[in-house]
Structure 1
Amino acid sequence: MKILLAALNAKYIHSNLAVRTLESYARTHLPKQEMPELEICEYTINEQKDHILADIYGRNPDVITFSCYIWNMEMIFSLAKTLKLILPEVPVWLGGPEVSFDAPAILKEHPEIAGIMTGEGEATFAGLMKFFKEAGSGDAGLPETLTGIVFRRGTGEIVTAPPTPPLDLDEIPFFYRDMAGEEGMEVFRHRIIYYESSRGCPFSCSYCLSSLREKVRFRSLPKVCEELQFFLDAGVPQVKFVDRTFNCNHRHAMGIWQYIREHDNKLTNFHFEIAADLLTDEEIDFLSTLRPGLVQLEIGVQSTNPDTLAAIDRVQNMDHLRSVTERIRGGKNIHQHLDLIAGLPHEDVVSFRRSFDEVYAMKPQQFQLGFLKVLKGSAMHRRAEEFGIVYHPEAPYEVIRTNWLSYRDVLYLKGVEEMTEVYYNSCQFVHTMEALTEEIGSAFDTYAAIADWYRRQFPRDVQHSRLARFTILRDFIRDRFPARQKFYEGLLLLDLYLRENAKSRPSWAPDPALWKSVFQDYYREHAEGRLDRRMMHGEVFDVDVLGIGGSGPWPVVFDYRSRDPLTGNAQVIHVKTTK
């Protein structure tokens, strides 16, 4: 008997933690004679539906299970309807956070779904697989002894079984090591490695589901360190912890941070989602000692409006948060990722502008502007009508309007979000945007103005090359600040070549021909062979954007062999000359 564990990821670089954990737990905890054949298949939501259907059909499953999240739910429903036509005798089961909180309603609305696993799925899945193996069929009548499932009887009656008790996290196998004898880590070579050292969250933010678990549970520290060593030995580029509030337990967090510092392989980066309010002085001081690039921290600010924070049941001391992010930034060794959510209660455009500017002033390496998703099972879902929150009826249930934001306002903020992604989070326009936001006086107003420029100049959904983005920003600046054109062209040129040796030169760049011999002399002295030569680029600046001093022009070399470990920017060397 074959059970298919199917995952639809948002992107190819993502890997699905859930299906591999379910498979590994069942394989570890069920005797061989009680185990059906389990097969994992991963797709993305960008693949053609017919290709996915054909692949599933070709695997000849007896039961199909899907791992469900807000980003893949609509596609899964579509696949399930068609699978019922193609494989009418093969039951389709669902599991995951998107279907755990209204499972009976989903079964009523979708007769093609045979059942749903609710809550944490490891023990539930193992029990269900054992039953299917013993029954020799995926459509046999389910017994009352199974837990953690909602299913439809042959009579059409929908039955909700008692929940499955939470597991000790140490009981969950480390599937990455289990795979080493089969596919090994090769299957994850171009994918993000996800790791879980705790479940639950100590906070009760009304838009989130993580706090709904009874309490925070941890995987034991010795086991975590042993498993992290596996990643270090394998030389993986990044391990992304999925813990909702990694630093909610001081001993657990410090134990892990101390271990990765002591066993640093100078290659692997570790990503943690933390609550800045909980960071202690000891932890901040310790983090400042880590190798640049070893750790990156994601901090959910969500809003700086006190009324908003109170309405979403979020405890946050903004003065302390600013102090923490400033101290971390001062260490110049940790990548910070700060988040805001648009569409929360009491947040209109004026209030959101204030939140945006305040978080922007913290100078994170990544600044994510997201939009409220009204998740089933969350307190926000129950209070949506109270706050006048109208949201899309299909997943991901994103906000359309609220008592404080019209749909026009939401579209306006979408434009700001897009320009923030292009001109801030790409990290390709750092010096230009720093000067521009300072000149305009508000970061929000800056990105809103660029968004308006795009809207007026280009049709929707036009894709622009990297160089085109530079040219568009130059045109915007030339229209807005014509007297400052030369200065900003110098900054744009600096930003362009800091990240890479661009193959195409911008039309507005100064002609470097007169300086060719100067650069060639530098390359002969500092480059060892043709490869080194390709890792350098000479450029001439008509304005002193680097603060070199003296009179120009200023010839510089961008050396891509030596990059800033935090920003990825090339080293810039002023080529002194008597010319």
Structure 2
Amino acid sequence: MNIKVTFVELSAFEAILPLASGYMQAYAQHDPEVGPRCEFEIYSAPVSADREKVIAELLDRRSDVYAISCYVWNIGFARAVLAALHERLPGAAFILGGPQVMRHAHEYVAPEQENVVVCNGEGEKTMAQYLRQILGGAPDFAEVPGISFWRGGELVTTEAAERVRDLMEVPSPFTSGVFEEGKYTTAILETNRGCPFSCGFCFWGAATNDKVHKFEDQRVRDDITWISKNNFVSLFIADANWGMAPRDVELTRHLVACSEENGYPVMVAMAAAKNKPDRMAEITEILVQGGLLTSQPISLQSMSSRTLDLVDRSNIKPETYTELQRTLREKRISSYIELIWPLPGETLESFKEGIAELCRLRADTLIIYPQLLLHNTSIYAKRDILGVQVERVPSDVTEADVVVATNWVSREEYERGTWFSYAVHSLYNLRGLYYLANYLERSGVSRFEDFLTDAATYFESRTDTEVTSFFRDSVAKLWNYDFHNFGMVAHLVLHSHREEFDALLVDFARSRPWWDDPRARAAFELDLLARPYIYLARPRLPRHDFTELRVEPRGRTASLVEMPADLAALLIDLDVTGLETGRERVTRLVLDHPRGRKLPFMPERSLEHNASYCQGMVLRLREYLPSWRPEREAAALPGRR
């Protein structure tokens, strides 16, 4: 008996190469007992695709086996696909895999669905042994290690499957011809498996939190070359800690060399090594110089030592991250620090204090994600002990459970922290009141945490603006789960509702006691002038009566700004002018809004598409942040008329 096997991947975004399915197909088709008797195909579609069309196309395959990859972002879609296929093709067999379903068969498979099994670990070996049973004609799933299934009303879970320790046992799906050429634009590359860390919130290494196993160097080089020659626009390196191994530096050089020779890829993303700041700085610089990377992620997650201990991340030192961020800033390379709210052990006060400390350290951008309670993580296993309470994102595509309370944070405090996050994003990341916040902090008038708290409270009190209404809905309706949410904020405050946000900032500032300080007013006016443009657009002076600064337009993109000397000194100290501290007193600076690699606003495209662009730009601060230069250099600047 020969059979047809369809691997089903419902990806988060369009045109992403289905690496997991590719591995399983490559492994199975090289098995002498399985490969010759199976016809393999991979079906992939984004979760945004029409559901009925996807189901119809899968039904048309009339496959004997459907293998469906399940993640938190697609499990609702995957459930619907399974239900439809199971009803219409009762003779087919189904195997589910992925972090969302592993060890959770009781939640996703009904007792009467005895032809549905769940893979509880790595898929390659389990899939091949599962297919051997199917090919035998009278399958005994109890002979397949690493799965769960129903039999006679009892849920059976077999012994765990052995890990693939020699990764070279898995043939390359790239060079063995598994993937259809020209179908995908984003490649995923794995150079090793495993993670030495066991962070409580992460399912990355859910079944593999031990020794890291590597593909051989030449295998990785060949895969990179294939990706480059097949015109993949972007590449995501899916190692848990890219840069942990010394060889990663040379592999990075090879990647850049391939890009220079073939023109692809043009963009690279990665999960950076946790405790190798010097090596990561070197890798980042290589990628930036090669034009493949514009910003370095720094996954800090929390500044609280208690929190890092509770989530088994205490062996990853915050100092490592701040050192990396400092190095990147000195090299004029953008970076962004990733944080999670609210992790166990984190209080509202420690959360605010941690962010304030990062502001004092001049972090480029702070990206604050909601905590999701993910299956197969230690926090999930200890959720009752930790007092974890969740609310599910309203969606028929995902099953995202957002943590809204813990033993350390009440539901109300969770909301306060989320409002605080929007103040951080709009006022610090997007430079709404960046100079003012720094001035108040350094002059001892108001600490960062107090200033941002005041702003968050004020924003919450305003029900009459589109911007604050968006914040309110995001907090109440869990919109912050959406990957594009921060991009939407950037679109609102830096483009579509720019003047409304200007007015909101003016109202907030004038309501504060420090408004009587002329230096505070001057810093505020600097912020109004210097608020960046995220799209390619001609800068316009804000509608504001400047009382502390003298502003004179210079050409199409710049303005000459005369300011108090101590305020100019603040700019110099913040590393925005390139001047050395201690030189002559500067009071006249040129503010220039760069064109950079910005795109214009695209009204013909969807709002989600434009928000996606803004989301990417938010992470690349130096792509859109204006520059300050001494007046004497103004004539040498390009674009002057």
1:62 Cα deviation from its structure 2 partner: 3.0
Structure 1 SS opposite 2:622: coil
1:272 partner SS = strand
Look up the match of 1:389.
Answer: 388
Once the two structures are superposed, residues 149-177 of structure 1 have per-residue CA deviations (whole angstroms, 9 ceiling, x without a partner) of 22223x33333223332222223233234
1:218 maps to 214
Distance 1:7 1:503, change over 3 A: farther
The match for 1:326 is 326
- Give 1:68 shift: 1.0
Residue 188 of structure 2 is aligned with which of 182, 191, 194? Answer: 194
CA contact (8 A) 2:130 2:141 kept: no
Distance in 2 between the 1:222 and 1:492 partners? 53
Q: TM-score, normalised on structure 1?
A: 0.79
- How much does 1:401 deviate? 0.9
For the structure 1 residues 151 and 468, does the alpha-carbon distance in structure 2 shift closer, same or farther, using more than 3 Å as the test?
same
Aligned pair partner of 2:402 in 398, 409, 413 = 398
**Matching residue of 1:370:** 369
Single out whichever of 12-21 and 337-346 deviates more from structure 2.
Answer: 12-21
C-alpha distance after superposition, 1:212-238 (max 9, x if no partner): 424211111222122223334445443
- Which amino acid counterpart does residue 166 of structure 1 have in structure 2? R
Percent of paired sites with the same residue? 20
Q: 2: distance between equivalents of 1:361 and 1:30?
A: 61
| Cα separation, 2, equivalents of 1:46 and 1:539 | 41
1:20-419 map, 5 Å: 20-30=22-32, 34-104=36-106, 106-107=108-109, 111=113, 114-135=116-137, 140-153=138-151, 155-167=152-164, 168-179=166-177, 183-184=180-181, 186-189=182-185, 192-209=186-203, 210=205, 212-213=207-208, 214-234=210-230, 236-249=232-245, 251-260=246-255, 265=260, 268-279=266-277, 281=278, 284=281, 288=285, 291-292=288-289, 293-295=291-293, 297-314=296-313, 315-333=315-333, 335-392=334-391, 395-418=399-422
**Quick one: distance in 1 between partners of 2:124 and 2:500?**
51
Quick one: which of 20, 43, 56 aligns to 1:18? 20
> SS of the residue aligned with 2:174?
helix
* Preserved contact between residue 84 and residue 112 of structure 1 (Cα < 8 Å): no
Deviation at 1:119, TM superposition (A): 0.3
Pair 29,489 (structure 1): closer, same or farther in 2 beyond 3 Å: farther
| Cα distance in 1 between the residues matched to 2:16 and 2:450 | 34
1:98-117 Cα shifts (integer Å, max 9, x gaps) = 22223356435784871112
Superimposed CA distance per residue, residues 10-36 of structure 1 (whole angstroms, 9 cap, x where no aligned partner): 233644322232223323335686443
1:525 paired residue number: none
Distance 1:54 1:326, change over 3 A: same
Matches of residues 473-484 of structure 1 in structure 2 within 5 Å? 473-482=501-510
Alignment-mate amino acid for residue 498 of structure 2: F
Native 8 Å contact 1:496 1:502 kept in 2? no
Confirm or deny: 8 A CA contact 2:28 2:34 kept in the other structure.
Answer: no
Q: Which residue identity does 1:380 align to in structure 2?
A: I
Q: Is contact 1:5-1:64 (8 Å) kept? A: yes
Structure 2: distance between partners of 1:553 and 1:368: 31
- Which of 491, 499, 502 aligns to 2:537? It is 502
Cα distance in 2 between the residues matched to 1:89 and 1:179: 30
Q: Is the 8 A contact 1:301 1:338 kept in 2?
A: yes
- Judged with a 3 Å threshold, the aligned counterparts in structure 2 of structure 1 residues 568 and 411 are, in CA distance, closer, same or farther, namely same
1:437 correspondence with 2:465: no
CA contact (8 A) 1:198 1:243 kept: yes
Structure 1 pair 451/43, CA: closer, same or farther in 2 (3 Å)?
A: farther
CA distances 1:280-326 after superposition (whole Å, capped 9, x unpaired):
x5665676566435455433212121221222222133334422331
How far 1:64 sits from its partner (Å)? 2.4
Determine the C-alpha separation between the residues in 2 that align with 1:114 and 1:575: 71
Amino acid at match of 2:223: E
Alignment partner of 1:481: what SS? Answer: helix
Distance 1:388 1:215 in 2: 31
- With normalisation by structure 2, the TM-score equals 0.72
Cα gap change, 1:49 to 1:109, in 2 (>3 Å): farther
- Please tell me the residue identity of whatever aligns with 1:508: R
> Quick check: 1:150–1:161 contact (8 Å CA) kept in 2?
yes
Taking the aligned partners of 2:536 and 2:142, their CA distance within structure 1 comes to: 65
CA contact 1:68–1:95 (8 Å) conserved in 2: yes
Distance across 2 between alignment mates of 1:229 and 1:289: 17
In the alignment, the residues of structure 1 paired with residue 149 and residue 348 of structure 2 have an alpha-carbon distance, to the nearest angstrom, of: 45
Q: 597, 622, 629: which is aligned to 1:567?
A: 622
Could you say if the C-alpha distance between residues 3 and 364 of structure 1 is closer, same or farther in structure 2, counting changes exceeding 3 Å? farther
Shift of residue 571 of structure 1? 8.6
Give the 3 Å change call, closer, same or farther, for CA 258–83 of structure 1 in structure 2.
Answer: closer
Query: May I ask how many residue pairs the two structures share in their alignment?
Result: 542
User: For the residues of structure 2 that align with 1:494 and 1:41, how far apart are their CA atoms?
Assistant: 48
Q: CA RMSD in A?
A: 4.2
Q: Distance in 2 between matches of 1:66 and 1:423?
A: 43
- Contact kept in structure 2, 1:195 and 1:241, CA below 8 Å: yes
User: Could you list the runs of 5+ residues in structure 2 that have no partner in the other structure?
Assistant: 394-398, 442-446, 475-487, 546-551, 569-575, 580-584, 600-616, 628-632
Q: Check the 8 A contact 1:198/1:217 in 2, yes or no.
A: yes
What amino acid sits opposite 2:100 in the alignment?
Answer: E
**8 Å contact from structure 2 (residues 8, 69) kept in 1:** yes
Q: Is the 8 A contact 1:197 1:218 kept in 2?
A: yes
Deviates more, 1:381-390 or 1:20-29: 20-29
- Structure 2 vs 1, CA of residues 336 and 553 (structure 1 numbering), >3 Å: closer, same or farther? closer
1:193 and 1:238 in contact (8 A); partners too: yes
The answer as to whether partners of 2:6 and 2:42 remain within 8 angstroms in 1 is yes
Q: 1:493 to 1:171 in 2, by over 3 A?
A: farther
> Compared with structure 1, are the counterparts of its residues 440 and 127 closer, same or farther at alpha carbon in structure 2 (3 Å cutoff)?
farther
- Residues 423 and 7 (structure 1), Cα distance of their counterparts in 2 relative to 1, 3 Å cut: farther
Counterpart code for 1:324? L
Residues 478 and 124 of structure 1: is their aligned pair in 2 closer, same or farther, counting only changes over 3 Å?
A: same
One-letter amino acid of the counterpart of residue 69, structure 1: Y
Structure 1 residue 257, shift from structure 2 partner: 3.6
| CA offsets 1:92-148 (integer angstroms, 9 cap, x no match) | 32111122223356435784871112200012222323443453xxxx533543222
